[in-house]
Structure 1
Amino acid sequence: MSSSIFILDETLEPIICKNIRALPNLPSLVTKFQELYRSNGVSPLPILNDIDWQFLHIKRDSLVFLSVVENNSRCNLLGVFTYLEEFYKLLKDYLHVGILNRNLLIDNFLVVIELIDESLDFGVVQFTDSSLIKDYVRVKVNLPELNPDVASIPDEESASDDDEDIKRKHKHKHKSKHKKKSKATKLLEKENLQEALRKNKAKVVDSIKENILNEERWRFGGTDEEINDDEDINDRYMNSYIAKTTIMPISWRTKGIHYGKNEFFLDVIEKVEYFMDFKSGVIRKNLIHGEIICRSYLSGMPKLKISINKILKQDVQFLSNVKFHQCVSLDSIRARSNPPAVEEDGKKKNEEADTLGNKGEIEFIPPDGEFLLCKYELKRHVKDQPMIKLRNFEIIPKLHKFKIKIHVIIETHFKTTNSTSKLNLRIPITNLFQSYRIDLSKQPKFKCEQGTVLFNLSDKFLLWEVGTMNGGHGENTLSMMAEFALFNEEEYKKMEEERKTSMNPPPLREGPKLEELYKKIHEEGDSDEVSTRKKNESLLTMDFEVPYCTCSGLKIEYLKIEEDQLQYQSFPWVRYKTISDDEYAFAV
């Protein structure tokens, strides 16, 4: 159990502190943590031990999340790390930002303290689900306004209605007045209908409040004068409703959710991790990290059924490395993996289990909003070709011409009907500058079949921005050629002698003086930065994105949405995408 929670900035100065167990001297704990953290070098251990305390910390963005635990508390340390990670995600979801920083937490100090109070109870984790905790913490989030002149954004229905009205005005400019009157009557009828719905909703809420009042009077013997505060009734009703939700079997979704348009978005995103030694041809890594991310905008309590071909085919590797959300019912998968017994006459003993086994689908009631349905990791065979393969990387020196060339060829290995939406190659040239004396006073030349080539002078690499590239099975290739000039000492001495004897001024140069920039950057550069660059100086990395395609072949066979009470029309959307991982590289 955590004794105190700290959020520190990048200089290890405390931003927010929550003293859970009333520790007497919190500044001394922070000072002790700073000493242990800095004494462990550049990458300190996640658990730092003291005589009486254990400091558990994770670094996310530019912040350090710290939990202080007593040595003799018999605490589950992995549970504390999980809480710190989930609390970091909770802050991002609640504050609606992608990256946290010091100023954002200072501006929302009260929100962060409330979130810690609701997610922890005397150091014990309660829950960190943002969809439920937002009903407990009803403090307004303080975010910086990008454009204060812009008016407040209306709700979806009113915005769509306004857009439709504008379209009708432009389309029917020259219509008769009779049609304008009919349009006005339609709007009046719509307003009357909305007003009636509001009145009915108010009646329902009033009846619920009256029931709560009667229950309070019956339980405590109070009168109408004692219990008449409307805000107390609202808080009592809301808190009792949330408390019921948290102890229900379906704790991840509250009741009473309503949307004008019921939609469900499902994204299958796979990250390909590939590492190959190009010189020896040895493949070090060939993995797929997949995620199924969903966004649910459905009313009521819908039940979804999703069939995945990996489950239907009983892919052992997929089933053993997949982790589902807590909302997913795994009974159908178990029924699929354990087929029913068969009697001697050939009839099946359990028809219900057989139907579940034949379906091989997952059933769940989704949370509201965005959530991670499942996460999986697959190992590819060594002989499986990468989606984007480096066919040739060659350095061609032409010493008699005082030139050196770099030739790069890539090829695709995915369906011909698909193409990349983004493809960037980072080609290292550090070894080239170390092995040869490059003359940057002469402009380097680049030529490629598609895209553009950029020269990064500070980090010494070429960036080949290809863009779109069609798929294939090795027949579709693209090439790039780069040419650098080598330093010609005889030519340089000859030019110096001519300048001494000539009365003419030196010729004007067009473009930047790369040799001066290179000398200024690398001679005045930091030695620590140079040491960190040496790790990646021989790695050719690729950054790509292939939409409508999965590297593993995973496919959603069907997606069904059922809501027994409301029975509305729903719109499911499925999308596939394969992207490169951070470690998609070739050692050249």
Structure 2
Amino acid sequence: MSASAVYVLDLKGKVLICRNYRGDVDMSEVEHFMPILMEKEEEGTLSPILAHGGVRFMWIKHNNLYLVATSKKNACVSLVFSFLYKVVQVFSEYFKELEEESIRDNFVIIYELLDELMDFGYPQTTDSKILQEYITQEGHKLETGAPRPPATVTNAVSWRSEGIKYRKNEVFLDVIESVNLLVSANGNVLRSEIVGSIKMRVFLSGMPELRLGLNDKVLFDNTGRGKSKSVELEDVKFHQCVRLSRFENDRTISFIPPDGEFELMSYRLNTHVKPLIWIESVIEKHSHSRIEYMIKAKSQFKRRSTANNVEIHIPVPNDADSPKFKTTVGSVKWVPENSEIVWSIKSFPGGKEYLMRAHFGLPSVEAEDKEGKPPISVKFEILPAPNTVKHLTGTTDDKPSGLEFICRSFCGPESCECCCQGSRFCNLGLTEERLEIY
């Protein structure tokens, strides 16, 4: 069982648009959603599933909107939440920015999309590329007789249209990895993980079949190869075009790709990561009248690499004022609404060390709060040099003329002394990659 109805609400809980799919839940039940949400939020017990009587509210928040699905039966919660996030993705591709104003400006199109996205409470056509073939932002002419869906909806390969032709066949593949790292005050790594995704831009004619091989740990264990260069991928999620049976058999990612840009897969790596930017801080308070910070940032990666757009967020007391800054590189900005200072460094080469000093006045005298001090966080990007494909074959006359690899890594916001692992092509094996066109 899935959703009975889907609502889009503003921040005050007012219904902007809704669609009743099953008729077994009173549409006025949504009026209880916002009071329950505010009550649970005040109690600190807020959860993604709220209840009123026999009705369950499953909700997500996006910008200044709430997307809410209701159900009276025993619904598959994971399916409902996946559908709500898919609705956000489809609306965003149609309207670029999904917010209250874009909802008000596109009522007609949204109703059409809701009718196609779900039927009688069950997800139906959720691929935005297919939806864009017959739901456009232009006016629709009235047609007599039952409209016929495009052939791609009922095809075995519903995500790709037939008859696509390009003068020049090209495939672009981006590997984007973000590193989340939490380090204690004494320098011990408490938690580290790598969250990655492989995104592709495909401009190929016809119905090409691609095969992508990774040096996954399971593959090497099965083939008896060494484990020194293998990694264990966890929480792997594939695009619907991937043949899962083929992947289970020989760990080869075989697929007929959609046309244009899409995310082929996402994954997570539980691995130990060495901090690439090390932060040391010295904080001195003087008679509760002023406070001084000395922050040292040191890059611990190779000199040939460079970290770009480095931001070091340093928390300061809520009542701090009269800031004074001095730094050897970059700029420092005080953000009083967030009670922090942000040290920005546009380019941070490997093997370098920089220093920043900050001075604040403390007008109010209060007891020192030893609990609840937020950590220092670091965000940055490292762009490695592009790699090439060693093996590229094809049986058709038009083979891709070039492939471009871009890898970007950046930190999450939850780090104390946070690092970014740079190029991880050695982990994914993209320097020995196979991408074959048929």
The TM-score with structure 2 as length reference comes to: 0.80
| Mapped pair 1:480 → 2:356 | yes
Of 42, 45, 55, 2:57 maps to: 55
Structure 2 residue identity aligned to 1:408 = I
Shift in Å, 1:404: 5.6
Shift in Å, 1:250: 1.9
Structure 1 residue identity aligned to 2:191 = K
Q: CA deviation digits over 1:177-198, x for unaligned, max 9?
A: xxxxxxxxxxxxxxxxxxxxxx
Give the SS at the match of 2:305: strand
Shift in Å, 1:112: 0.8
Structure 2: distance between partners of 1:373 and 1:58: 24
Of 263, 272, 280, 2:170 maps to: 263
Shift in Å, 1:331: 5.6
| Mapped pair 1:386 → 2:275 | yes
Correspondences of 1:482-501 after superposition (within 5 Å):
482-484=358-360
Structure 2 equivalent of residue 414 of structure 1? 301
Structure 2: distance between partners of 1:305 and 1:47: 40
Correspondences of 1:526-545 after superposition (within 5 Å):
537-545=373-381
Report which of the two has the higher share of strand.
Answer: 2
Q: Percent identity?
A: 30
Shift in Å, 1:430: 1.7
Correspondences of 1:226-245 after superposition (within 5 Å):
239=148, 242-243=150-151, 245=152
Structure 1 equivalent of residue 421 of structure 2? none
| Mapped pair 1:365 → 2:256 | yes
Give the SS at the match of 1:110: helix
Q: CA deviation digits over 1:450-469, x for unaligned, max 9?
A: 21222334443222111111
Whether the 8 Å CA contact 1:302–1:562 is kept in 2: the answer is no
Structure 1 residue identity aligned to 2:194 = I
Structure 1: distance between partners of 2:169 and 2:371: 50
Correspondences of 1:487-566 after superposition (within 5 Å):
537-548=373-384, 558=390, 560=392, 562=394, 564=396
Q: CA deviation digits over 1:276-305, x for unaligned, max 9?
A: 121x33322211111111222222212223
Whether the 8 Å CA contact 1:273–1:288 is kept in 2: the answer is yes
Shift in Å, 1:22: 3.7
Whether the 8 Å CA contact 1:305–1:559 is kept in 2: the answer is no
Shift in Å, 1:571: 2.8
Whether the 8 Å CA contact 1:303–1:561 is kept in 2: the answer is no
Give the unaligned 5+ runs of structure 2.
222-226, 419-438
Structure 2: distance between partners of 1:482 and 1:75: 54
Structure 2 equivalent of residue 36 of structure 1? 36
Structure 2: distance between partners of 1:536 and 1:293: 39
Give the SS at the match of 1:373: strand
Give the unaligned 5+ runs of structure 1.
142-228, 337-359, 487-514, 520-532
Cα separation, partners in 2 of 1:371 and 1:471, compared to 1, 3 Å:
same
Structure 1 equivalent of residue 208 of structure 2? 302
Shift in Å, 1:558: 4.6
Shift in Å, 1:84: 1.0
Shift in Å, 1:396: 4.6
Q: CA deviation digits over 1:359-390, x for unaligned, max 9?
A: x6432211122211111111222xx4212121
Structure 1 residue identity aligned to 2:65 = L
Please identify, of 123-132 and 314-323, the stretch whose mean Cα deviation from structure 2 is larger. Answer: 314-323
Shift in Å, 1:324: 2.2
Cα separation, partners in 2 of 1:137 and 1:393, compared to 1, 3 Å:
same
Correspondences of 1:197-216 after superposition (within 5 Å):
none
Cα separation, partners in 2 of 1:100 and 1:335, compared to 1, 3 Å:
closer
Whether the 8 Å CA contact 2:4–2:25 is kept in 1: the answer is no
Of 324, 335, 341, 1:462 maps to: 341
Shift in Å, 1:560: 3.8
Q: CA deviation digits over 1:208-242, x for unaligned, max 9?
A: xxxxxxxxxxxxxxxxxxxxx99779x96xx36x2
Structure 2: distance between partners of 1:11 and 1:543: 33
Larger radius of gyration: 1
Shift in Å, 1:556: 7.6
Q: CA deviation digits over 1:446-502, x for unaligned, max 9?
A: 332221222334443222111111124xxx32222234578xxxxxxxxxxxxxxxx
Structure 2: distance between partners of 1:17 and 1:366: 33
Structure 1: distance between partners of 2:5 and 2:18: 7
